Amino acid sequence: MAKIQFDGVGKRYDNGAHAVRDLNLTIEDGEFMVVVGPSGCGKSTALRMAAGLEPITEGRLLFDGHEVNALSARDRDVAMVFQNYALYPHMTVSENIAFPLASRGMAKDEIAQRVARAAETLGLTEYLSRRPKALSGGQRQRVAMGRAIVRDPRLFLMDEPLSNLDAKLRNQMRAEIIGLQKTQGVTTLYVTHDQTEAMTMGDRIAIMRGGVLQQAGAPRDLYDHPANLFVAAFIGSPAMNLFQADLRFTDSGPVLVTSGGTLELGPGAALPARARDHDNRTVVVGLRPEHLSLGDGPGPSLAATLTLTEELPPEKLLHTLITAETPMTDQVVAVAADVDASAVGDLAQDARAHRSRLVARLPVDTPVPASGPLDLRFDPARLHLFDARDGQVIR
């Protein structure tokens, strides 16, 4: 097993493009670390640098405290599982699994024992004599996994291994990979663009955007305490609701001022001390869909217009529009949507019209009107506040 450290690691190409910038990330011995982010964020480049398939141009990569920048991929004792399986079509399942051992010159008896153990672990024993074309997608992925685990490596590297599978098979394979990693205890770096995979599989998650690490932590920590607007919008399905308002501190406590009215947060909001630095300034307010409710009760409410209801037992999603005092700026929309501010376009159409979307997650048996006005109530203690200028959380 190995402890992996990215110490200020960067990747700059000859044309000046910076794929990864100053990556500082530690993967503990035996940990399952998932790196997630949109296409082009640098996650696969980071994995390929760990594998030795991409040269590191800045910083150091350490395995158990020893720098491996100059080590070849062959000498790093890592095993990779690729998106496209990378199986040899002319070989049987047994030969594919055995290939990395045979290429090392291992004795045939030892190879046979290891292949048999891996096949039994992955439920492939009855398929050992078949060729890849005779297997399903899930079976091919198991063969790729078998070829990785048979080596007993220091580090598993998995690059979008489930993206070619259908939804049902992805769910099944997620559970199998988690169980396999826990049984083997091998340090694992897993790359995906799917935040559901990240949230359900990783001991910890590292979120990247534009080649820069945004935040790393346990799944629940990232969900409950996002460091910035991008993390807030990326983690969670449906995504966190975001709208702009003016934050003001009055004698009776903090309030959020919108054109729909003044929302008195009261002492229950427990705003951080730094929030006072944003007095009389525009902030971005974040609310998770499950933290909105209907009906009378404590806490402020937002006047909204119901536009669509989705029933997804055991819950339903209410899609609404609220009126906001300040339209979402191009900068804020760009950060949350991971696009360049100059290319926001229609993403900000509703925002420019002083309207913001809000989604509420409620129990499926909650009575709601077919459409029209309603009040969405929330607990001020559940609020997230972000700086409207740079998108960073106000803590």
Q: Can you tell me whether residue 318 is helix, strand or coil?
A: strand
* Same structural domain, 219 and 258: no
* Same structural domain, 68 and 35: yes
Residue 85 has pLDDT above 90, yes or no: no
70, part of any domain = yes
172, part of any domain = yes
Pairing of strands 241-250, 355-363: unpaired
* Same structural domain, 67 and 28: yes
Last residue of a domain, one of 233, 252, 271: 233
Highest mean pLDDT among 45-59, 110-124, 163-177 belongs to 45-59
14, part of any domain = yes
* Same structural domain, 99 and 159: yes
* Same structural domain, 225 and 244: no
244, part of any domain = yes
Name the domain count of the chain: 2
Residue 347 has pLDDT above 60, yes or no: no
| Chain center to CA of 381 | 25
312, part of any domain = yes
Domain that includes residue 301, residue range:
239-387
Last residue of a domain, one of 201, 233, 265: 233
Residue 156 has pLDDT above 90, yes or no: yes
What is the rounded distance in angstroms from the CA atom of residue 344 to the CA atom of residue 331?
A: 9
What's the DSSP call for residue 359? E
* Same structural domain, 275 and 226: no
What is the rounded distance in angstroms from the CA atom of residue 112 to the CA atom of residue 162?
A: 28
Tokens coding 30: 């035996």
pLDDT band at 339 (very low <50, low <70, confident <90, very high): low
Last residue of a domain, one of 183, 207, 233: 233
* Same structural domain, 121 and 269: no
CB neighbourhood size of 43 (10 A): 29
Highest mean pLDDT among 80-94, 209-223, 324-338 belongs to 209-223
Q: Which of 84, 247, 71 minimizes the C-alpha distance to 161?
A: 84
Q: Which of 357, 361, 240, 237 minimizes the C-alpha distance to 310?
A: 361
- Overall average pLDDT of the 14-19 stretch: 92
Q: How far is CA 88 from CA 97, 130, 224, in A?
A: 10, 12, 44
CATH assignment of the domain containing 182 = 3.40.50.300
| Chain center to CA of 37 | 6
Task: Render pLDDT for 30-82 as a digit per residue (tens, 0 to 9).
Answer: 999 999 999 899 999 999 999 999 999 999 999 999 999 999 998 999 999 98
* Same structural domain, 219 and 257: no
* Same structural domain, 78 and 184: yes
* Same structural domain, 115 and 258: no
101, part of any domain = yes
What is the dihedral sign for C-alpha 182, 183, 188, 190? negative
């291992």: which residue's tokens? 106
Mean pLDDT of the residues in the chain: 88
* Same structural domain, 247 and 383: yes
394, part of any domain = no
